[in-house]
Structure 1
Amino acid sequence: MSIDTLQRFLLDDLDIRGAVVRLGPVWQEITARRHYPAPANALLGEMCATALFIADALKHPGRITFQLRGDGPVSLLVVDCDERLNLRAMAHAVADTAPAPMPELLGGGQLLLSLDVPNMRQPWQSVVPMQGDNIAEVFEHYLGLSEQLPSRLFLAASPEGAAGLFLQKLPNADARDADGWNRITGLAATVTADELLALPADELLTRLFHEETVRVFDARKVLHDCPEDWDKVRTMLRSLGRQEVEAVLREHGEVLIRDDLANRDYRFDAAAVEALFSEAPPTLH
């Protein structure tokens, strides 16, 4: 298994399914030039791995967005992923945020979910109380409510990568082996952060479940494909009006539009602003 992939697996004899995610270059692109404090970076990386497990279940084109909002020094974590596993993410955090337990970092908050698919008139949204002492527990609680299937998450993140192991108990698991779920989750709980971040899926699963029959499926590639969209930004600036845009230009010497999720800046100098309002806007048909 290469890096920047999600790979599903099934414990055939136990009716337990799961997946392994390992991120490297994609994670580094997401965090490039952002300089998040280490505690926020770690939370965001763990949330990225978790969102991929959930987005992998999307059967039709669509985009799922998770937001953790609170009143602590890490006030916002957003992860956005579509059915192709095209991942975007961002955080808002106080620059000198010190290491602390997650509830202290986020403060009292909520988990917001938004699902946007082409045939829906508007995105479906849900708000879930944030319950748990870490990202894994928050999403285990969410999955228990939404899918009504016991789930476990084991997550890790560093400046170089993010990774996770996901397990879910299927309805017939107890009939197949009454102790199977407890045995497998106990074995999974021995995994270390270094193992999650470094080991390919097949090696990780063999190390953890060497006495079980594990069927591993083809890996899916994770993307960070966020092309520039200058037309969209120009249309937005035109909607603000020339007077307001030129006022920003006079104050700052340029007009800067920041796309946080895509980790991209759009800059307009005086010549670009003049061209923006001199050229005819595109005709809508």
Structure 2
Amino acid sequence: MDLIQRFLFEDLDVRGALVQLGPVWRQIQRNRDYPPAVRSLLGEMAAVTAIIAGNLKTPGRITFQLSGHGAVSLLVIDCSETLNLRGFAKSEGPIVGNSISELLGDGRLLLSLDVEGMQQPYQSYVPLEGETIAAVFEHYLQQSEQAPAALFLAADGDNAAGLFLQKLPAADEKDADGWRRVHGLAQTVTPGELLSLDASVLLQRLFHEETLRVFEPKPVRHDYPPDREKISATLRALGREEIESLLADHGEVVVSDDLSNHEYRFSADEARALFDTPPPNLH
């Protein structure tokens, strides 16, 4: 688990990738009591973000934000060029339904791509097309890369997984029926198979009659340890007056890092001590 397995149909000019997340997905959800429908959306989005990050031509940090005005207001997944994955969801009120339109209402997808050397991240807004995470991202991929793509996603409380196929430019020249054939085979995969079968077993079961070149798998991780000093520096930047106002209202200062899934608490004495102790030298 926690890997991306890329592969190529050598005789067809069709590429693919399979991502399977276990411990990483459970870490992202740690101490978060997401309703099942929200959990499924976020897990599927984690899987497809990892796939896209693992296939970037120019490696960088990629962030997808899916926002709307429904009971689910925000889904965010962030993945670094080393496939370090994190994310969170925000929802309020009763969760009714499972489709994108039922849960998010009208919404949009924001892509941010931060590549080393760029002065600022590239950003692009994409209208939501489709009623599932798979459909939304199929539309995004076809618009951004001008090539047919297919996604099959699944997520539960323990695992998240995704299968990706993309038709490359020479596919019809190599085999006019190839894309239709492998797409049809991929459509037979079940959520249970995606979530439970070993990658090599699943690919063999689906495509045993095709010639696959399977590349070395890439590990996916969730490695964002708490950084209290960074939060302390942020609070210092707010200034003593703002901190005193927070203490007057709440008796303590609480900072939630939703993306990395950490909460930081500062008692009144700890918060005031931030301004009595010189900040550490940064090297």
Amino acid in structure 1 at the alignment position of 2:189: V
Amino acid in structure 2 at the alignment position of 1:87: L
Runs of 4 or more consecutive aligned structure 1 residues displaced over 6 Å after TM superposition: none
In structure 1, the partner of 2:227 is 229
Deviation of 1:104 (Å): 1.2
In structure 2, the partner of 1:192 is 190
The change in CA–CA distance for 1:158 and 1:60 in structure 2 (over 3 A counts) is: same
Amino acid in structure 2 at the alignment position of 1:94: E
In the alignment, structure 1 residue 13 sits paired with structure 2 residue 8: no
In structure 2, the partner of 1:24 is 22
2: distance between equivalents of 1:95 and 1:117?
37
2: distance between equivalents of 1:100 and 1:141?
19
Deviation of 1:98 (Å): 2.7
2: distance between equivalents of 1:140 and 1:64?
17
In structure 2, the partner of 1:167 is 165
Show the 5 A alignment for 1:139-218.
Answer: 139-218=137-216
Deviation of 1:61 (Å): 5.0
The CA RMSD over aligned residues, in Å, is: 1.4
2: distance between equivalents of 1:81 and 1:28?
16
Map Cα deviations across residues 133-178 of structure 1 (whole Å, 9 max, x no partner): 1111111111111111111000000001100100011111111110
Amino acid in structure 2 at the alignment position of 1:12: E
Show the 5 A alignment for 1:40-59.
Answer: 40-59=38-57
Of 120-129 and 95-104, the range deviating more from structure 2:
95-104
Normalising by structure 1, we get a TM-score of 0.96
1: distance between equivalents of 2:52 and 2:160?
16
Map Cα deviations across residues 197-226 of structure 1 (whole Å, 9 max, x no partner): 001111111111111111211111101011
2: distance between equivalents of 1:24 and 1:87?
12
Whether the 8 Å contact between 1:62 and 1:116 is mirrored in structure 2 is yes
Amino acid in structure 2 at the alignment position of 1:29: Q
Amino acid in structure 1 at the alignment position of 2:238: L
Deviation of 1:83 (Å): 1.0
Whether the 8 Å contact between 2:96 and 2:102 is mirrored in structure 1 is no
1: distance between equivalents of 2:212 and 2:116?
36
In structure 2, the partner of 1:121 is 119
Whether the 8 Å contact between 1:65 and 1:115 is mirrored in structure 2 is yes
Deviation of 1:191 (Å): 0.5
Amino acid in structure 1 at the alignment position of 2:55: A
Which SS does the other structure have where 2:109 is aligned? strand
Deviation of 1:258 (Å): 0.4
Which residue of 99, 102, 113 corresponds with 1:101? 99
Amino acid in structure 2 at the alignment position of 1:269: S
2: distance between equivalents of 1:217 and 1:284?
41
In structure 1, the partner of 2:63 is 65
1: distance between equivalents of 2:150 and 2:275?
54
Deviation of 1:228 (Å): 2.0
Which SS does the other structure have where 2:102 is aligned? helix
2: distance between equivalents of 1:57 and 1:227?
26
Structure 1 residue runs without a partner (length 5+):
none
Deviation of 1:31 (Å): 0.5
Deviation of 1:253 (Å): 2.5
Amino acid in structure 2 at the alignment position of 1:116: D
Whether the 8 Å contact between 1:37 and 1:93 is mirrored in structure 2 is no
In structure 2, the partner of 1:267 is 265
Aligned residues with identical type, % of pairs:
58
Structure 2 residue runs without a partner (length 5+):
none
Normalising by structure 2, we get a TM-score of 0.96
Amino acid in structure 2 at the alignment position of 1:247: S
